[in-house]
Amino acid sequence: MSKKVIIVGGVAGGASAAARLRRLDESADIIMLERGEFVSFANCGLPYYIGGTIQERSKLLVQTPESLKARFRIDVRTFSEAVSIDPERKMIKIESRDRGAYEESYDDLILSPGAKPIRPSIPGIDNPSIHTLRNIADTDRIKELVDREATRSAVVVGGGYIGVEMAENLRERGLDVTLVEAAPHILAPFDSEMVVLAEKELEEHGVRLRLNSPVQAFRVAEGGIGTVVELGNGDSVTADIVILAIGVMPDTGFLQGSGIQMGARGHIIVNEHMETNQPSIYAVGDAVETTDFMHGGQTAVPLAGPANKQGRIAADRICGLDSSYKGTQGTAIIKVFGLTGASTGSNERTLNKLGVPYHAIYVHPISHAGYYPGAKPMSLKLLFNEQGRVLGAQAFGEEGVDKRIDVIATVIRLGGTVYDLTELELSYAPPYSSAKDPVNMAGYVAENVLEGRLDVLTVNELDGIDADAVQLLDVRTVAEYGRGHLDGALNIPVDDLRERLHELDRNKEIYAYCEVGLRGYIASRILSQHGFRVRNLTGGHKSCRIASFTPSLEE
């Protein structure tokens, strides 16, 4: 007897579950419910269609009801919204544009309702000039406005991935763009001293940043044209269009009264098999709470990759396969004009919040061999514990960032350590990498820290140092020192250090630094073997320059 499976929602989780179900069970009766018109679309591509990088709207449509029916024999019902579930009767109530209200039975149910944009109770939030971006219909509305000649300015509220991507794409369309963020920095998965690279890139391309600026109210501008965004510090920004991108919340209101267990923020609680607490009901995608792969707690990460994997696992379980989801580690990447930022695992804020001890190091390598034309700089941060386990990594650069973070993400997933990073045999040719890949280099620095060959301090630790207790030592060349250095630093180039040890104060701890860390490490080894107490500034003076960037507040 064939199974009847109902899937609520398409896009990543629901569509992948439907396709996997059919591949595993040709006889299953599969029904997919979608409240809107489009059942499977590339929601990550929506900002790039608005910005014009993706020219054809049809490219956003991954699957249509017709293609799903033709290839997978799936009964796709668009404009059909699930409004309630009765697990005891195994019935779901549906409101359909074409069929009205009706009930449908199921043997198994997969919930993939996704997440919806947050619209907080701010005065003026219902202004029709304020838009959110979730689906094709939202995209069409925003693009139609952006295409108008009269639309010349935009305010994007929220500095997450969608907010930054929208700011970039609206700026690419020639709009005057201001990005407003309530927190001190944009892109929360990155630590502050790294994300300033993205903030600098945005400003250099004409996006105004207003950080530490919560929105207090929206109001219609004088004359009725445009919207005024009033900020917490008393300032305001006026624009023709406002994009609200302050985050998402699970779209699970229809599950009230179903007995399905949900978390504090409304996410569906599932186990490693994507099963809810109700028999024969599974949940996947942005609406679920899953295990944090790094630390074992509960987390909710709205990313397409995890949603696809979860949909596949739910289908496997329905068909009797012993698949399980091992947790989400939050690997993500973003394009910011000419810059790429990527991260995986935990950042420092998370580790500090959880009370997890860790080490942090920085390297600033180039994307491929320096003697081959076109090499681009990158900045890579690595977090690891005393046993060497890799806890997280972040990187920014123009080229090669994606593959380095993906390699580290793989090492994390396989339970690897910094020692594994040193031993990885990665592909090398001058146009693509260096004989010592940046991943290897990060591993070498981390290994030196763990083996006691190097005591590092981070740029954050420089704040509030006791100038009487330490001596800053700049081991770069005289010319480099002259172009900028830390206040109070003594300049002794590393090649002259052995002959000038007498200039150092043996009663003070030495804080040595160079440009990116390598010469500082050499100096540290020399000094420690001559009886000095010494720490090397990881990432060198470049890390200080990066961290010191402050976005302009000019209008």
Q: Does pTM top 0.85 for this prediction? A: yes
Quick check: 391 and 385 in contact, CB under 8 A?
Answer: yes
**Size of the chain in residues:** 555
Mean pLDDT of 31-37: 93
Q: Quick one: average pLDDT of 448-467?
A: 88
Which residues pair with residue 159 across a beta bridge? none
Which burial class, exposed, middle or buried, applies to 27 when counting CB atoms under 10 A from its CB (0-12, 13-18, 19+)? exposed
Q: What is the DSSP string of 390-403?
A: EEEEEEEESSSHHH
pLDDT at 55 over 50: yes
Averaged over 172-195, what is the pLDDT? 96
Residues 364, 421 contacting (CB under 8 angstroms): no
> Could you tell me what percent of the chain has a pLDDT over 90?
85
Query: Using only C-alpha atoms, what is the Rg of the chain?
Result: 27
Q: What is the pLDDT of residues 495-551, one digit of tens each?
A: 999 999 999 999 999 999 999 999 999 999 999 999 999 999 999 999 988 887 777
Catalytic residue among 44, 319, 514, 544: 44
Residue 44 among the catalytic residues? yes
Are the C-beta atoms of 555 and 529 separated by less than 8 Å? no
- Of the candidates 178, 184, 248, 182, the one whose C-alpha atom is nearest the C-alpha of residue 216 is 182
As a whole number, mean pLDDT of residues 453-475 equals 88
Using an 8 Å Cβ cutoff, are 158 and 247 in contact? yes
Burial label, 18 (beta-carbon count in 10 A; 0-12, 13-18, 19+): buried
Average pLDDT over residues 207-212: 97
Range 95-105 average pLDDT? 95
Residue 554: what pLDDT?
A: 44
The domains found in the chain, sorted by start residue, are: 4-43+50-114+249-318 (3.50.50.60), 130-246 (3.50.50.60), 338-450 (3.50.50.60), 456-547 (3.40.250.10)
Bridge-based pairing state of the strands 359-363 and 339-345: unpaired
Checking if the pLDDT of 21 tops 60, the result is yes
Determine the pLDDT at residue 520. 94
- pLDDT band, very low/low/confident/very high, at 552 (cuts 50, 70, 90): low
Residue 249 three-state SS: strand
pLDDT at 195 over 70: yes
Is it the case that residue 222 has pLDDT exceeding 60? yes
Mean pLDDT of 381-397: 98
How far is it, in rounded angstroms, from Cα 209 to Cα 115?
A: 27
| Type of residue numbered 547 | A
Predicted confidence at residue 555, as pLDDT, reads 39
Weakest mean pLDDT among 12-16, 81-85, 321-325: 12-16
Instruction: Kindly state the helix (H) or strand (E) to which residue 478 belongs, with its residue range.
Output: helix 478-482
The DSSP H or E segment spanning 179 is: strand 176-180
Name every residue whose Cβ is closer than 8 Å to that of residue 247 and which is 6 or more positions away in sequence: 117, 118, 158, 160
| 541: its two tokens | 């003076």
Q: Could you please report the per-residue DSSP string of 281-340?
A: EEE-GGGEEEEBTTTSSEE----HHHHHHHHHHHHHHHTT-------B---EEEEETTEE
Lowest-pLDDT choice from 174-178, 232-236, 261-265, 458-462: 458-462
- The one-letter code for the residue type at 292 is D
Rounded to an integer, what distance in angstroms lies between the CA atom of residue 349 and that of residue 345? 12
Written as six digits, the tokens of 200 are 């600098």
| pLDDT recorded at residue 262 | 95
Weakest mean pLDDT among 22-26, 405-409, 460-464 = 460-464
Structure tokens at 111: 């919930």
Contact between residue 111 and residue 254 where contact means Cβ atoms under 8 Å apart: no
